[in-house]
């Protein structure tokens, strides 16, 4: 059965916390390495998401029935989304010094995913866990436990922002009105 990681092990992602200057620098430095391999890293993250949490594919009409990672990797829709996710994270990292800019980026993404794509918010937590896992493996030389802890904080803050926007747009009412 699919393990809904976002609902248990990642509970620590539910509390927003302030990033220190040192944590910001660790995030920016490690991201520079990851972003050099933007497309490969993005695709690896999304493949891991869709293989380990197959229900997350339900929102993507072009590959929701594909199971083989080799086939998933060829999907243009998957590659486009990988690119968009990486660009959005890049913006977040560039704006680490401006909480207003960070909040408006998260807001834009969350509104579109709630209102247009109708993605359950738990998938943002699940994806955050997958990002941490893949970056820790693929960039183990730069993602030390300290760096991983800084990323955990950033992603937790993003998930909190997403949850707040979902509440604001009345997600519970929206999702139950279609039942
Ligand atoms: C860090 C998290 C994420 C970021 C930054 C992100 C970013 C984006 C962006 C920028 C777009 C295109 C613009 C738009 O329509 O809003 C998009 C589209 C989309 N996203 Fe995400 N996304 C994230 C997580 C997710 C998750 C977890 C899911 C579902 C499991 C998802 C499903 C979709 C779908 C179905 C589309 C439309 C795809 C298409 O039309 O081809 N996203 N995303």
Residue of 52, 55, 64, 73 lying closest to 129 (CA atoms): 52
State the pLDDT at residue 8: 47
Per DSSP, the residues of 4-27 read: -GGGTTTGGGGS--PPPHHHHHHH
Which of 34, 48, 113, 125 maximizes ligand 1 atoms within 8 Å of its Cβ, making it the mutation to test the pocket?
113
- Report how far residue 16's alpha carbon sits from residue 36's, in angstroms, rounded to the nearest whole number: 28
Residue 179 in this model has a pLDDT that exceeds 60: no
Residue 118 in contact with ligand 1 by CB distance below 6 A: no
Sign of CA dihedral 68, 113, 19, 16: negative
Q: Where do the H-state alpha helices sit in the chain? A: 21-36, 38-52, 69-72, 76-94, 99-111, 122-138, 145-168, 171-176
Question: Each residue of 41-92: pLDDT tens digit?
Answer: 999 999 999 999 999 999 999 999 999 999 999 999 999 999 999 999 999 9
> Which residue has the CA at smallest separation from atom 41 of ligand 1?
77
Fold classification of 21-169 is Globin-like (1.10.490)
CA atoms within 13 A on the CB side of 130: 26
d(CA 76, CA 90): 21
User: Which atom number of ligand 1 is nearest to the Cα of residue 112?
Assistant: 16
Closest atom of ligand 1 to CA, residue 77: 41
Q: What is the pLDDT of residue 7?
A: 47
Tokens 């997958």 sit at which residue? 130
The CA angle 151-156-162, to the nearest 5 degrees, is 130
The CA distance from 149 to 159, in Å, is 15
pLDDT at 1 over 90: no
Nearest CA to ligand 1 atom 14: 112
pLDDT of residue 97: 94
Report CA(24)–ligand 1 centroid distance (Å).
25
Residues 6+ apart with CB under 8 A from 52: 2, 3, 5, 130
Cα(85)–Cα(25) distance, integer angstroms: 21
């Amino acid at each position: 059965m699919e393990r809904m990681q976002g609902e248990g092990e990642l509970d620590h992602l539910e509390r927003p916390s302030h990033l220190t200057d040192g944590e910001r620098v660790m995030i920016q430095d490690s991201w520079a390495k990851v972003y050099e391999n933007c497309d490969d890293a993005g695709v690896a993250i999304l493949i891991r998401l869709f293989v380990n949490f197959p229900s997350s594919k339900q929102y993507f009409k072009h590959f929701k029935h594909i199971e083989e990672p080799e086939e998933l990797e060829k999907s243009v829709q998957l590659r486009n989304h990988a690119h968009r996710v990486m660009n959005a994270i890049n913006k977040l990292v560039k704006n680490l010094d401006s909480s207003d800019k960070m909040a408006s980026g998260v807001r834009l993404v969350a509104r579109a995913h709630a209102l247009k794509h109708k993605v359950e918010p738990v998938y943002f937590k699940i994806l955050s866990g997958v990002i941490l896992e893949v970056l820790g493996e693929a960039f183990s030389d730069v993602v030390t436990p300290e760096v991983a802890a800084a990323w955990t904080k950033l992603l937790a803050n993003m998930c909190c922002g997403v949850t707040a926007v979902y509440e604001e747009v009345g997600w519970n009412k929206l999702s139950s009105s279609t039942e």
